[in-house]
Amino acid sequence: MVILSLGKRGNERKEGNNNNNNNGRQLGKYELGRTLGEGNFGKVKFARDTLSGHPFAVKILDKNKITSLNVSDQIKREIATLKLLKHPNVVRLHEVLASKTKIYMVLEYVTGGELFDKIASKGKLCETEGRKLFQQLIDGVSYCHNKGVFHRDLKLENVLVDDKGNIKITDFGLSALPQHFRGDGLLHTTCGSPNYVAPEILANRGYSGATSDAWSCGVILYVILTGYLPFDDRNLAVLYQKILKGDVQIPKWLSAGAQNMIKKILDPNPETRITMAAIKEDPWFKHGYAPANPEDEEEDIYIDNEAFSMNEVQVDAEQRSPQSPTLINAFQLIGMSSCLDLSGFFEKEDVSERKIRFTSNLSAKDLVERIEDIVTKMEFQVQKKNGRLKVIQENKTHKTLGSLSAAAEVFEISPSLYVVELRKCYGDASIYRQLCKKLSNDLGVPPRQALVSSEMN
């Protein structure tokens, strides 16, 4: 099992097509070269300081795109955050330049690409190499925390590897600073990437930036050592249910120390989850550990004031209305009102397969009652046991033809969203198809949304 099933976004750090070089273009003292990658707001180009000869990566952001998507606060946040951070395992910001239409972030050039690509191409790493990368990750993240910066989107794609095999944490666009905490001392904006998000973020009751970042580090460690994700499902709603339960299967072939470390970090209870300080004291972690030396001396990072003259009122993401379409993400979508159409997040499957799931905004109690009423009218017998409904229809003349046994179970994803799982035990596929269609239609779920994430057993 590998992580290639992950949705891979556009790579802003990998070297791109050299046919699109535009060599010779000047930006102050920098000569811009080939395009390294493209993102939502512009391009990343290779650049060289014409005075020193040092290489850099220049992120070129289009002001019109930033303004139209209302994400200028996100760009400002990333720049403000990177100004604070000077650590060997964090990508360095050198300066910010601007024109009337563009913002230019001059960043440290990291040659080795993303950790995602390293794992995707080579598979899991040996424990010694994996532990070294994890030590550097924890070093960098804990340094950020000590500076009051919480990343909130730690994942393999946001960890770069240089030519010496050392990691560099990047992409602080979703990071939080002390001013983003509410009066309860917690963060409340739901953000991150689905497979890496901590369960307390999904619970939507406020969370600590430190403990949620620790969880994401645990997911990264798991992937580094195993080659696949601890929580994964093609059905986004079911993926969140797995994360909320925190029931991770840790391979027995990992060393006892590695198993124990993963178990302590991927604790679904943030109150008992291991802290960054405790991780650093763990015997498995400390093996061969050489702490990095952050460069905390003051450095004058030049930022052109023109970079933020966008002629618009800036609204911080923590204070923005959750209905704002520019900030709606998978986690906010999953907890929205009954008018929500989740069809775009689910894959449709043939319902003749053994297991299907669909979503509903009815309460668990109403769902069970409605399911029981529907199947009874279809002349199924109903048995209740351990919170499940078992429905049976027997053809007494032909045991296989026209007979069906299926089980239904309801899972709560959020107070306003439930997943109904139907599982065929045995019987006629055509009758099972009819049952699935009837339940999905009568429970108010659009047919194109209902039949999702089948699994053959």
HSE-CB of 291 using CA atoms within 13 angstroms: 10
Annotated binding residue 59: yes
Closest to 221 measured CA to CA, from 359, 287, 127, 145: 127
Q: Among 180-194, 295-309, 391-405, which stretch is predicted with the lowest mean pLDDT?
A: 295-309
Three-class DSSP category at 235: coil
List all residues 6 or more positions away from 408 whose beta carbon is below 8 Å from its beta carbon: 371, 388, 389, 390, 391, 420, 421, 422, 423, 439
pLDDT tens, position by position, 230-247: 999 888 888 998 999 888
Average pLDDT over residues 114-122: 88
Average pLDDT over residues 43-71: 88
What's the CATH number for 343-455? 3.30.310.80
Examine domains 115-286 and 343-455 and report if their fold is the same.
no
Three-class DSSP category at 441: helix
Q: Which residue has the higher pLDDT, 217 or 233?
A: 217
State how far Cα 35 lies from the chain centre: 26
Q: Count CB-CB contacts under 10 A for residue 83.
A: 13
pLDDT tens, position by position, 136-182: 999 999 999 999 999 999 999 999 999 889 999 998 888 888 778 88
What is the reported pLDDT for 19?
A: 39
CATH 3.40.50.1820 fits 115-286, yes or no: no
Joined tokens for residue 27: 């930006």
Average pLDDT over residues 187-200: 87
Q: CA 235, 155, 112: angle at the middle one, nearest 5?
A: 130
pTM of the complete model: 0.64
Q: Where are the domains of the chain?
A: 9-109, 115-286, 343-455
Which of 153, 171, 233, 428 is the catalytic position? Answer: 153
What is the reported pLDDT for 416?
A: 59
145 close to 210: Cβ distance less than 8 angstroms = yes
267 is catalytic: no
Fold (topology level) of 9-109: Phosphorylase Kinase; domain 1 (3.30.200)
Three-class DSSP category at 168: strand
